[in-house]
Copies of this chain bind each other. A is one copy, B any other.
Amino acid sequence: MQNLIDNFDDIQSIKKKLTVINIVDIAEILENVENHKLLKIFRLLPKDKAADVFSYMSPENQKIIIETITDKELATIVNDLYLDDTVDLLEELPANVVKKVLKNTDGATRKIINQFLNYPEDSAGSVMTIEYVDLKKNLTIKDAINRIRKTVDAKETFDICYVTDSHRILEGTVSFRDILLANDNQKIEDIMDKNIIFAHTTDDKEIVSNMFMKYDCSSLAVVDNEKRLVGIITVDDVVDIIQDENTEDFELMAAITPSEKPYLKTNVFRLALNRIPWLLFLMLSATFTGFVIHNFENQLAAQSVLIAFIPMLMDTGGNSGSQSATLAIRGLALNEIKVSDFFIIMIKESFVGLIAGIVLAIFNFARLIILKYDPLVSLTVCLSILLTVILANVIGGILPILAKSLKLDPALMAAPLITTIVDVISLISFFTIASIFLPV
């Protein structure tokens, strides 16, 4: 394919090839094509594939296409796109291009699009689609199947059909499987499930993805304040939501302001800006650790051998605390841990810290004795490790839960902040123990 595109003389072969390649792969190929070839190849696509390929292209390529094609071509594409894809597209485009797109949709669609664009970012409303199958409860199975066969082409999913009353209020759901299994003369209301799982338009998408994970559904109804059905969310969108949320957690946990753009497409200044405020905050917090050292300067001057243990102690404390914090943050994100588990986690982490601390202390003691360090120095170091690891585990385990109970994102209580807090604690422990065993 690449070869055909590079030469670009055998148009017929390219056209033929395009009919057999998967739409996602075509969109990927088009990412590496020069601009002047992009539109030419796009126009070679079979009609029924064009909108699908378009929906998988990068915003940059979509913009190029929209700016160059005729209004009529654009209208065809926008018409073929699912509404949620159109909305995604509009959110990425500059204002003048958005205008061109909206000009080429009919009034009713334009109204719905504007409504979608007004849902809060990351809300269920902003990710839902309106291409669902809705049925009335007094339909017979036969009529329902006919209705579905007639309308299915424009629907994003029909696994689950939604039953609404004359005011569009959601009354139940019925799976297409159950429709197929029922008798032609049965009515929808005989087989529908009235126990409906649904989200509200303003629910955060995290709530949505948690419902999908809990109930293993393939689509989820979204209702407004009057319980009227306004859209559905399909599981393929949830996969993206889950990945976005995980990325957000990974970034927050590394003290980076989350960004939705991929790394390679983010410029250096934006990358720096997402990190600098956190680094500054943490750098200034770390100066507290400096104060601690400053306060114990006499101790250190008398026992300068202790200085060399500071990094090991700080790192070990930071690592232990981050381990506990990570497990707590992840457990909270997966709903495996609840705020009410606070005391269980505190107790568990104390014991884990005790076990880990003892093992680390023993290893270290053996090492220091072999290296012929003063036994009292060795004892000071090892007791400090033990105490630090226990405290670090408890702090790392409970801070994310405290954050959650204060409605903060638990992911903020990860390695960077925990490390800074544990540093202070480990050094105070170290110098206090030193002043007992190694008086100046």
Hey, which bits of chain A sit against chain B, CB under 8 A?
A: 20-22, 24, 148-149, 152-153, 158-159, 177, 180-181, 194-195, 197, 212-218, 235-236, 238-240, 242-243, 246-247, 249-251, 253-256, 262-264, 268-269, 271-272, 275-276, 278-280, 282-284, 286-287, 289-291, 293-294, 297, 300-301, 304, 307-312, 314-316, 318-320, 322-323, 325-331, 334, 336-337, 341, 344-345, 348, 351-352, 355-356, 359-360, 363-364, 367, 385, 389, 415-416, 419-420, 423, 427
Contacts and interface: CB of A to CB of B under 8 A. Distances in A.
A78 B314 CA distance: 53
A312 B290 CA distance: 7
A305 to B, nearest CB: 9
A197 B22 contact: yes
Given A235-B235, A254-B326, A269-B355, A416 B287 contact: no
B242 A235 contact: no
A281 to B, nearest CB: 10
Contacts of A21: 195
Contacts of A297: 304, 307-308
B286 A315 contact: yes
A177 B158 contact: yes
Given A312-B289, A355-B269, A419-B318, A330 B247 contact: yes
A330 B266 CA distance: 14
Given A280-B363, A293-B311, A314-B314, 10 more contacts: A152-B180, A242-B242, A247-B330, A262-B337, A263-B330, A286-B312, A290-B308, A307-B307, A315-B419, A322-B415
Contact of A282 (B181, B215, B217, B319): B319
A290 B311 contact: yes
A304 B300 contact: yes
B311 A427 contact: yes
Contact of A276 (B215, B243, B359): B359
B181 A327 contact: no
Contact of A251 (B149, B268, B290, B330): B330
Nearest to A348: B268
A327 to B, nearest CB: 5
A152 B159 CA distance: 12
A352 B286 contact: no
A252 to B, nearest CB: 10
A360 to B, nearest CB: 6
Contacts of A238: 239
**Top 7 closest pairs, chain A to chain B, by CB:** A254-B326, A289-B311, A290-B308, A272-B355, A286-B312, A262-B336, A286-B315
Contacts of A269: 355
Contacts of A24: 214-216
B263 A337 contact: yes
A275 B323 contact: yes
A266 to B, nearest CB: 9
Given A308-B294, A322-B416, A341-B264, A283 B330 contact: no
15 contacts: A153-B177, A213-B243, A218-B218, A251-B326, A262-B331, A263-B331, A264-B337, A280-B360, A283-B360, A283-B385, A286-B311, A293-B307, A297-B308, A318-B419, A322-B416
Contacts of A253: 250, 326
Contact of A327 (B218, B256, B268, B363): B256
Contact of A416 (B236, B300, B319): B319
A333 to B, nearest CB: 9
Given A197-B22, A214-B24, A359-B280, A336 B263 contact: yes
Contacts of A217: 236
A256 B323 contact: yes
Contacts of A212: 239
A328 to B, nearest CB: 8
Contacts of A255: 319, 322-323
Nearest to A290: B308
Contacts of A263: 327-328, 330-331, 336-337, 345
B336 A264 contact: yes
